[in-house]
Amino acid sequence: MAGKKRIKRIAVMTGGGDCPGLNAVIRAVTKTAISRYGIEVWGIEDGFLGLIEGRMHPLQYEDVSNILTVGGTILGSCNKSNPFAFHVSAGKGTRKKDVSDICVHNLEHNRIDALICIGGDGTMASASAFAKKGVTVMGVPKTIDNDLWGTEVTFGFNTAVNTAADALDKVHTTASSHHRVMIVEVMGRYAGWIALYAGAASGADVILIPEIPYRFDAIAEYIQARSKKGKRFSIIAVAEGAKPEGGQAFVAKILKDSPDPIRLGGISAVLAEQLETLTGQSCRAVILGHVQRGGSPCPYDRTLATQFGHHVVELLAKGKRNRLVVIKNGQLDSIPLHQAAGRIKTVPKNHPLVLAAKAVNTSFGV
């Protein structure tokens, strides 16, 4: 599959966790390829697991009609199947095995000329590794966390922010009624994009993100100062990866069979207990969890995903290989796939929204 030969058949897959907007990309890729270039499109089922097991099928134009607004992915996904470190049975346990050659064989057996991988940093790391094995690979940036390096924004992020901001809006009334501190924990892994944008959009009093380690006493003092001014409730938006000064992020569990075994979470409960002791105010914790991944994509994500899906096929048709489609300076662009492999984009401490939030007296716990 190496080289610049004409692309006749492509395969598309969704890797890692699901995300609003995946179907919009699949739709745009399939319709652009078929109607504009006469390229056949195959769908790989359940991400890299389907590629390992050889589960793929042709996608017709009609198969992707009426899926633009539908959440999830019609192809299925899997976040536990790294082809270069795949867990296989070994006695009573498992061991890691490189099964990437099986994947290459399955692609060649089905006469796939190019593979389009829709995913985040982990997916792009595997995609880049396949490119080194001679597979023609293209990447489309997907993650609600918005932490994929090289692009200003990923599809799925805005929908997740909408969901998180709506939850923060709703806890305002119950916090006010009961004079409580309400702590809403959002996803994001090691990046604070969702917490920052949802917190700022909902007017959260405190925003805690991994990039700015917090102090319990600073948060407590801020809440008490609000109380003295007659503000008898406070709203805290906290990223699951936020951590105290000199401390570590809170780990909910470890999944040994996953390429990314550490699952963060639980910080909101710890904060609620600590702050209730320090402030004497009633504190409650809410963990949004996977609700942020679900539902219909917002209009912005539908249109962004459509542009990404169309652009990646256009790049292939123009002879571009092993690229990741991105947004740079507000415009569609692409970068070498290997540049984004295994890298994450975090929130700069001087990000304009951080500065704006501080200017309206939002605390970051410092």
List pLDDT tens digits, range 104-132: 999 999 999 999 999 998 899 999 999 99
**Structure confidence at residue 324 as a pLDDT band (50, 70, 90):** very high
Considering the domain boundaries, does residue 303 fall inside one? yes
**Structure confidence at residue 255 as a pLDDT band (50, 70, 90):** low
**Do 202 and 235 touch, CB atoms closer than 8 A?**
yes
Helices (H), 188-261: 193-202, 216-228
Same-domain pairing of 39 and 139: yes
Three-class SS state of 109: helix
pLDDT of 356 reads 98
**Structure confidence at residue 4 as a pLDDT band (50, 70, 90):** low
pLDDT of 159 reads 98
324 contact partners, CB below 8 Å, separation of at least 6: 124, 138, 139, 140, 141, 150, 151, 334, 335, 336, 337, 339, 340
Same-domain pairing of 66 and 183: no
CATH assignment of the domain containing 92:
3.40.50.450
pLDDT of 1 reads 46
Helices (H), the chain: 22-37, 47-53, 100-109, 121-132, 157-178, 193-202, 216-228, 267-279, 299-317, 337-340, 352-359
Same-domain pairing of 208 and 289: yes
**Do 278 and 127 touch, CB atoms closer than 8 A?**
no
Percent of residues in the chain assigned helix, strand, coil, to nearest 5: 40, 20, 40
**Structure confidence at residue 2 as a pLDDT band (50, 70, 90):** very low
CA distances from 308 to 25, 142, 315 (A): 7, 10, 10
Same-domain pairing of 197 and 92: no
Mean per-residue pLDDT of the chain: 93
Same-domain pairing of 194 and 325: no
CATH assignment of the domain containing 172:
3.40.50.460
Cα–Cα distance measured from residue 76 to residue 15, given in angstroms and rounded to the nearest whole number = 9
Considering the domain boundaries, does residue 354 fall inside one? no
Considering the domain boundaries, does residue 167 fall inside one? yes
**Do 152 and 330 touch, CB atoms closer than 8 A?**
yes
Ramachandran area for residue 225 (φ above 0: left; ψ -120 to 50: alpha; else beta)? alpha
Mean pLDDT of all residues in 326-343 = 94
Same-domain pairing of 278 and 145: no
Pick the residue with more confidence: 277 or 256? 277
Model confidence pLDDT, tens digit, residues 270-321: 999 989 999 888 899 999 999 999 999 999 999 999 999 999 999 999 999 9
The sign of the CA dihedral 247, 252, 256, 260 is negative
Same-domain pairing of 198 and 72: no
pLDDT of 32 reads 98
Same-domain pairing of 267 and 310: no
Percentage of the chain lying above the pLDDT 90 cut: 80
Pick the residue with more confidence: 178 or 238? 238
Same-domain pairing of 310 and 325: yes
Three-class SS state of 241: coil
Considering the domain boundaries, does residue 217 fall inside one? yes
pLDDT of 94 reads 83
Cα–Cα distance measured from residue 75 to residue 308, given in angstroms and rounded to the nearest whole number = 18
State the helix-helix crossing angle for 22-37 and 299-317, rounded to 10 degrees.
40
> Which residue in 131, 139, 104, 132 sits closest to 12, CA to CA?
139
Mean pLDDT of all residues in 319-333 = 96
Model confidence pLDDT, tens digit, residues 42-99: 999 999 999 999 999 999 999 999 999 999 999 999 888 899 999 888 888 888 999 9
157 contact partners, CB below 8 Å, separation of at least 6: 143, 144, 145, 146, 193, 194, 301
Residue 265 pLDDT exceeds 50: yes
Considering the domain boundaries, does residue 357 fall inside one? no
Total domain count for the chain? 2
pLDDT of 326 reads 97
Ramachandran area for residue 55 (φ above 0: left; ψ -120 to 50: alpha; else beta)? beta
Considering the domain boundaries, does residue 350 fall inside one? no
Same-domain pairing of 24 and 144: yes
Model confidence pLDDT, tens digit, residues 209-234: 999 999 999 999 999 999 889 888 99
Considering the domain boundaries, does residue 359 fall inside one? no
pLDDT of 68 reads 97
Same-domain pairing of 268 and 310: no
In this structure, of 70-74, 140-144, 174-178, the range with the lowest mean pLDDT score is 174-178
Cα–Cα distance measured from residue 28 to residue 44, given in angstroms and rounded to the nearest whole number = 16
Pick the residue with more confidence: 56 or 257? 56
Q: Is 318 exposed, middle or buried (0-12, 13-18, 19+ CB in 10 A)?
A: exposed
Residue 259 pLDDT exceeds 70: no
Q: Give the domain extent around 23.
A: 9-155+297-340
pLDDT of 263 reads 72
Considering the domain boundaries, does residue 27 fall inside one? yes
The answer to whether 145 is a known catalytic residue is yes
Same-domain pairing of 264 and 208: yes
The one catalytic residue in 145, 147, 205, 301 is 145
